[in-house]
């Protein structure tokens, strides 16, 4: 049981982060909180990829003659580059989301979801 | 700024000219002492941030202790890096990079504290006085 | 990977995320979220992903916190409570618990954490690690995969940054703001509305040149150390953001016009796609840099791949720098481009 907990702890954290993010996106009424939930969900997915690529007893993926050329000595570079670009794209899309929040506040005078729906009617 | 560069050059010169194991142990002990001192000041900082009564005193604790302890820890790490393996130009380069980080923390951290304090003063955060609520609760 | 350290950090991450969702003051929630990003950065360093950690420290903890603060500054800071809405909370809790339950059941089928022999680590990733040094002479495998093997991917992600910053710039600009923008941003201003403290201005003036120098080092040295176009571009953008926070947005606009910013936003993507097109013209595949050796016969195919990667990184850095700065100016001035935070 303890062994199972250690070897799968990263996936459990991923599931917790995704649950938290999804709950915030559905249940929270404040739009900024929804954005925070969105980013937490995104970090959960990034954590999933990076922890899949981590290896025991390995070093960073920069080839060094000291550690030899065997692939087993270096962490997985592929998942890292996918997530590196995902972070930068994530902040750009987060900017679009926050821009929409500011536009909505300018139009309706509130960032509470129920208040906006009332004014919308 | 110049002082720490001179001191690192001094330690480099010591390592370069003498190869006795005593110097190795001395430098290792010095770096361990510096890192432990830095951790002690970090502990004091965090206790101060939690225990002090109002915004200004908390920022005072955070700004002072944070700067000093990061500088001590980074200096200890620089000495530790200098001491690993044989002395080469690469190790000295890494040391100089760490020293640059120290200089930027020395400039940046007090300025950030000042900016936060200024913002707090501008938005009229209340001062702590003798008859504030914090004292009353304790009595 | 040290699992004890990682487990501690991951637990702290979950606590930080929970607090940032639970806290009532929006500004406090945003600051706690910045701490969450820094913890994530430590987690990734622990798992050997230094490039990702670098990006997260610059982007997640630095720039996205500023974006959040700008939005909170221009909207409201407090959360308005309405009557206890049980049905939505109940419904969303059921959905989240169901999702969590099914994912937890599926956990047992995944490879163990840190297993070097799992399928993820053995097919194409192993090829990159073993052949990157011979084929491109770049020790940092992340850079060579990012800019060479998977350059197609990176090109479109740079394009996403380009499109996102254009969208923010155009949608937030008000109709009367456009005239003011013509006055303020596109022309040189003669007066500066400086009201900040002298200490902050002087310290920022001291820091900004060194920040930009460091950013250029990160871009150029990405072949040998963690770093590259994305990280260097974000640090360059952050130096401009720092300058515009310490002085005024107009001060930065007096140096870099908004026109110049948008041009460099486009030029970055153009450099990336243009190198790909040159490869296509010279008879190789799109973004197959070894074809460039026909243009420069003195360089072999390996050397041309090495050099083309550097130019691609410069293009990415240009786009990301001006993208971050354009997003910051739009969000922090609420589309008016007069004064920032």
Question: pLDDT-derived band of residue A119, with 50, 70 and 90 as boundaries?
Answer: confident
Does the structure show a pLDDT above 90 at A15? yes
C-alpha span between C258 and C187 (Å, rounded):
9
Same domain, C176 and C112: no
Do the domain assignments include residue C128? no
- Check: CB of residue A48 under 8 Å from CB of residue A79: no
Residues 109-128 of B with CB under 8 A from C: 111, 114-115, 118
Please report all neighbours of A, defined by 3+ CB atom pairs within 8 A.
Answer: C
Decide if C197 and B108 are in contact by the 8 Å CB cutoff.
Answer: no
pLDDT recorded at residue B138: 47
Residue pair A60/A75 in contact by the 8 Å Cβ criterion: yes
Note whether residue C156 is domain-resident. yes
**Count of structural domains within chain B:** 1
Same domain, C256 and C333: yes
The pLDDT of residue C89 is 83
At C76-127, the pLDDT tens digits run 888 776 666 778 888 889 999 999 999 999 888 888 888 888 888 888 888 8
In a domain, C84, yes or no: yes
Whether residue C189 is contained in a domain is answered as: yes
CA distance C200 to chain A (A): 27
**A117 touches C: beta carbon within 8 Å:** no
C106 and C159 in a single domain? The answer is no
- The first and second tokens of residue C94, run together, are 């059921």
* Mean pLDDT in residue range B111-137: 75
Distance CA(A84)–CA(B87), nearest Å, equals: 35
The answer on pLDDT for A12 being more than 70 is yes
pLDDT band at B36 (very low <50, low <70, confident <90, very high): very high
- What would the pLDDT profile of C34-85 be if each residue is shown by its tens digit? 999 999 999 999 888 899 999 999 988 889 999 999 999 888 888 776 666 7
DSSP, res B107: H
Task: Tell whether C207 and C311 lie within a shared domain.
Answer: yes
Q: What's the confidence (pLDDT) of residue A23?
A: 92
A37, pLDDT greater than 60: yes
Q: What is the DSSP letter of A57?
A: T
pLDDT at C338: 66
Summary mean pLDDT of chain A: 88
Contacts of C204 in chain B (CB under 8 A): 111
Q: Of C122, C154, C176, which marks where a domain is finished?
A: C122
pLDDT mean over A33-58: 91
Per CATH, the number for A2-120 is: 1.10.287.3510
Asked if A83 contacts C52 with a C-beta cutoff of 8 angstroms, the reply is: yes
Q: List C residues 165-224 in contact with B (Cβ-Cβ < 8 A).
A: 197, 199-200, 203-204, 206-207, 210
Residue B84 domain flag: yes
CA distance C50 to A84: 10
Encoded tokens for C11:
């637990």
Nearest-CA neighbor of C305 among C326, C285, C329, C328? C285
Residue C285 in contact with partner chain A when CB distance is under 8 A: no
Distance from the Cα of C203 to chain B's closest Cα (Å) equals: 7
Instruction: Using the predicted structure, report yes or no on whether residue B125 has a pLDDT greater than 60.
Output: yes
* 3-state helix/strand/coil string of C40-87: HHHHHHHCCCHHHHHHHHHHHHHHHHHHHHHHHHHCCCCCCCCCCCHH
Per the structure, the complete domain to which residue C102 belongs is given by 1-122
C76-to-A91, C69, C73, C282 alpha-carbon distances in Å: 22, 11, 7, 56
Report, as an integer, the average pLDDT of B98-111: 87
Helix, strand or coil for residue A62?
strand
Residue B48 sits in which domain range?
Answer: 21-125
CA B137 from chain center: how many Å?
34
H/E stretch holding B113 reads helix B89-122
What sign for the dihedral angle of Cα B23, B28, B31, B37? Answer: negative
| SS3 sequence of chain C | CCHHHHHHHHHHHHHHHHHHHHCCCHHHHHHHHHHHHHHHHHHHHHCCCHHHHHHHHHHHHHHHHHHHHHHHHHCCCCCCCCCCCHHHHHHHHHHHHHHHHHHHHHHCCCCCCCCCCCHHHCCHHHHHHHHHHHHHCCCEHHHHHHHHHCHHHHHHHHHHHHHHHHHHHHHHCCHHHHHHHHHHCCCCCCCCCCCCCHHHHHHHHHHHHHHHHHHHHHHHHHHCCCCCHHHHHHHHHHHHHHHHHHCCHHHHHHHCCHHHHHHHHHHHHHHHHHHHHHHHHCCCCCCCHHHHHHCCCCCCHHHHHHHHHHHHHHHHHHHHHHHHHHHHHHHHCCCCCCCCC
Indicate whether C64 belongs to any domain. Answer: yes
Across the range B62-75, mean pLDDT stands at: 90
Query: What pLDDT was estimated at residue A39?
Result: 93
How close does chain A come to C47, measured CA to CA in Å? 5
Specify the number of domains making up chain C: 2
User: Do residues C266 and C149 share a domain?
Assistant: yes
As separate numbers, helices (DSSP H) first and strands (DSSP E) second, chain B gives: 5, 0
Mark yes or no for CB contact C59/A79 under 8 Å: no
For residue C55, give the nearest of B104, A62, A90, A23 by alpha carbon: A90
Whether residue C115 is found in the same domain as residue C147: no
Instruction: Report if residue C134 sits inside a domain.
Output: no
* Residues of C with Cβ-Cβ distance to A114 under 8 angstroms: 82, 85
Reported as a pLDDT band with limits 50, 70 and 90, residue A68 is: confident
Burial class (CB in 10 A: 0-12, 13-18, 19+), B18: exposed
Q: How far is CA B30 from the centre of its chain?
A: 15
B97 touches chain C (CB under 8 A): no
**Mean pLDDT across chain B:** 82
If asked whether residues C312 and C216 sit together in one domain, one would say yes
For chain B, the distance separating the N- and C-terminal CA atoms, rounded to the nearest angstrom, is 47
CA distance C200 to chain B (A): 6
Q: What percent of chain C has pLDDT over 70?
A: 91
pLDDT for res C340: 60
Q: Which two tokens stand for residue B112?
A: 């950030």
Q: Integer distance in angstroms from the first to the last C-alpha of chain A? A: 55
CATH number of the domain enclosing C42: 1.20.120.1200
Residue B70 counted as domain residue: yes
Q: How far is A16 from chain C (nearest CA, A)?
A: 7
pLDDT < 70 stretches in chain C: 81-84, 174-196, 337-341
- Please give the C-alpha separations between residue C213 and each of B35, C52, C199, C219, C220, in angstroms, as whole numbers: 29, 21, 22, 10, 11
- What per-residue confidence (pLDDT) applies to C218? 92
Last residue of a domain, one of C65, C87, C122: C122
Q: What is the pLDDT of residue A13?
A: 92
∠ at Cα C187 (C182, C192), nearest 5°?
A: 110
Residue of B107, B108, B114 lying closest to C197 (CB–CB): B114
Tell which residue, B74, C140, C154, has the closest CA to residue A61: C140
pLDDT for B1 equals: 64
Least confident of A19-28, A47-56, A61-70, A98-107: A61-70
Cβ atoms of residues C239 and C215 within 8 Å:
yes
């Amino acid at each position: 049981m303890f062994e199972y907990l250690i070897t799968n702890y990263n996936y459990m954290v991923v599931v917790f982060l995704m649950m938290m993010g999804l709950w915030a996106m559905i249940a929270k009424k404040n739009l900024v909180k929804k954005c925070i939930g969105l980013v937490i969900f995104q970090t959960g997915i990034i954590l999933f990829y990076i922890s899949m690529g981590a290896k025991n007893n390995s070093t960073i993926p920069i080839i060094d003659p000291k550690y030899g050329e065997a692939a087993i000595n270096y962490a997985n570079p592929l998942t890292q580059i996918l997530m590196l670009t995902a972070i930068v794209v994530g902040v750009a899309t987060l900017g679009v989301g926050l821009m929409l929040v500011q536009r909505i506040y300018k139009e309706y005078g509130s960032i509470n979801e129920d208040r906006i729906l009332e004014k919308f009617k | 700024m110049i002082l720490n560069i001179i001191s690192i050059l001094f330690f480099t010169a010591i390592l370069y000219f003498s190869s006795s194991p005593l110097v190795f142990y001395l430098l290792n002990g010095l770096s361990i002492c510096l890192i432990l001192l830095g951790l002690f000041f970090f502990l004091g900082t965090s206790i101060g941030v939690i225990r002090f009564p109002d915004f200004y005193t908390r920022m005072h604790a955070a700004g002072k202790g944070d700067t000093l302890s990061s500088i001590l820890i980074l200096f200890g790490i620089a000495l530790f890096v200098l001491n690993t393996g044989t002395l080469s130009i690469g190790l000295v380069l890494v040391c100089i990079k760490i020293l640059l980080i120290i200089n930027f923390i020395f400039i940046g951290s007090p300025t950030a504290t000042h900016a936060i304090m200024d913002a707090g003063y501008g938005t009229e955060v209340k001062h702590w006085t003798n008859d504030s609520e914090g004292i009353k609760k304790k009595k | 990977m040290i699992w004890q350290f990682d487990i501690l950090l991951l637990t702290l991450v979950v606590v930080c995320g929970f607090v940032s969702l639970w806290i009532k003051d929006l500004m406090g929630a945003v600051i706690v979220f910045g701490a969450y990003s820094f913890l994530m950065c430590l987690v990734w360093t622990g798992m050997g992903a230094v490039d990702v950690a670098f990006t997260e420290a610059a982007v997640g903890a630095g720039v996205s916190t500023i974006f959040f603060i700008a939005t909170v500054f221009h909207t409201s800071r407090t959360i308005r409570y309405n009557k206890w809405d049980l049905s939505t909370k109940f419904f969303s809790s059921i959905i989240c618990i169901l999702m969590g339950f099914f994912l937890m059941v599926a956990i047992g089928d995944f490879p163990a954490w840190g297993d070097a022999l799992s399928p993820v680590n053995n097919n194409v990733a192993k090829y990159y690690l073993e052949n990157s040094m011979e084929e491109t002479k770049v020790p940092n495998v992340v850079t060579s995969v990012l800019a060479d093997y998977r350059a197609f991917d990176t090109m479109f992600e740079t394009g996403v940054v380009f499109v996102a910053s254009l969208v923010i710039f155009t949608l937030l600009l008000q109709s009367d703001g456009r005239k003011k923008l013509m006055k303020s941003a596109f022309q040189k201003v003669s007066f500066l509305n400086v009201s900040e403290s002298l200490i902050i201005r002087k310290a920022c003036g001291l820091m900004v040149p060194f920040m930009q120098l460091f950013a250029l080092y990160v871009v150029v040295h990405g072949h040998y150390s963690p770093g590259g176009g994305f990280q260097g571009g974000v640090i360059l953008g952050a130096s401009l953001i720092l300058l515009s926070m310490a002085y005024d947005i107009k001060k930065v606009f007096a140096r870099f016009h908004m026109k110049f910013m948008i041009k460099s936003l486009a030029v970055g993507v153009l450099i990336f796609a243009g190198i790909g097109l040159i490869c296509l013209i010279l008879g190789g595949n799109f973004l197959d840099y070894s074809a460039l050796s026909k243009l420069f016969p003195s360089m072999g195919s390996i050397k041309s791949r090495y050099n083309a990667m550097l130019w691609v990184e410069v293009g990415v850095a240009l786009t990301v720098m001006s993208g971050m700065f354009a997003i910051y100016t739009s969000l922090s001035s609420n589309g008016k481009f007069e004064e920032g935070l």
